[in-house]
Structure 1
Amino acid sequence: MYRSLFPRDLFAEMDRLTREMQQAFEVSPSIRGIGRGGFPALNIGSTAEAIEVYAFAPGIDPAKVEVQLDRGVLTISGERAGLPEGDAKTTLHVNERFAGRFRRVISLPDDIDPNAVSADYRDGVLHVSIKRRASAQPRRIEVQ
């Protein structure tokens, strides 16, 4: 694609270059993991009793979200509809809202119970809770 040596919008070009540089240097893992900017954004945590997954997905019909658990891998997939298009006279300047099909895959630890999974979608947040097996949960042993 042909690019002008002097772009019309110098600030937009500088913003694009800054984003590309940030992405180039954000590949090393840290203690908190790697943020890839996928959709939906995820928060994953664990307790002694369960693994908790929060997927932040506003504007999605819960009937079009599919949650699967297969051999220790949780898959969240679905589709988010786009916004209605404007008329021919409308010029779109910024479009940061994701629309289209999505799929997030999460590897889970071996101690989960595949028969004790619940999923709830409320206020744009999908909450998936996967219980751990009772045998894997910590327990207090009485000393005699």
Structure 2
Amino acid sequence: MSDFYFGNDLFGELDRLQRHMSGVFGGGFPASIRSSRAGAFPSLNIGTTEDAIEIVAFAPGIDPSKLELSIDKGLLTIAGERTAVREEGARAYAQERFKGTFRRVVELPQQADPDNVQARYTDGLLVIKVGKREASKPRAITVQ
């Protein structure tokens, strides 16, 4: 009998299988945003508009000056450090908030224009907009 049961949610099971295999073989970079490891920081939402690819990183408690963003060969890298928040003299007996350095790498689609990037940090959200190349935008063609 197999250790794998495929119920009604085949894609969920495939994600679970991929996470299991990544754990067995040491992981590395996730193949897609859906297959990123559980608890990866910061959590990301990635979407698109007609003009841009939008990445929202949920990164509360970070000093924006400590964030580093770069794009190289179609990969967007978000790196930084989140420090511990503790009252002086207090000892922790439970700690659920991640502290330390982090790094997330996102593969951008081919239509992304690395020369057209904007980023802003507001209320714990890092919003990155990567413009699309003009050639990749839809255009109307007149029939003669």
- Structure 1 distance, partners of 2:118, 2:68, is 12
User: What is the aligned partner in structure 2 of residue 15 from structure 1?
Assistant: none
Question: Which residue of 44, 47, 52 corresponds with 1:45?
Answer: 47
How many matched pairs? 117
SS at match of 2:35: coil
- Structure 2 distance, partners of 1:94, 1:140, is 59
For 1:38-88, what per-residue CA distance to the aligned partner results, in whole angstroms no more than 9, with x for missing partners? 11110011223211000000000000000101110000000001122653x
Structure 1 pair 83/50, CA: closer, same or farther in 2 (3 Å)?
A: same
User: What is the aligned partner in structure 2 of residue 107 from structure 1?
Assistant: 107
SS at match of 1:109: coil
Structure 1 pair 129/32, CA: closer, same or farther in 2 (3 Å)?
A: closer
RMSD: 2.2
> 1:63 and 2:65 equivalent?
yes
Larger radius of gyration: 1
Output aligned runs, 1:1-144, within 5 Å.
26-28=16-18, 33-36=34-37, 37-84=39-86, 87=89, 92-144=92-144
Q: TM-score, normalised by structure 1?
A: 0.73
- Structure 2 distance, partners of 1:112, 1:51, is 7
- Structure 2 distance, partners of 1:61, 1:78, is 9
Letter in 2 for 1:127: V
Q: Which runs of 5+ in 1 are unaligned?
A: 1-24
- Structure 1 distance, partners of 2:140, 2:102, is 43
Structure 1 pair 32/126, CA: closer, same or farther in 2 (3 Å)?
A: closer
Asked whether the 8 Å contact 1:27–1:34 carries over to 2, the reply is no
By how many angstroms is 1:111 displaced? 1.5
- Structure 1 distance, partners of 2:142, 2:128, is 34
Q: TM-score, normalised by structure 2?
A: 0.73
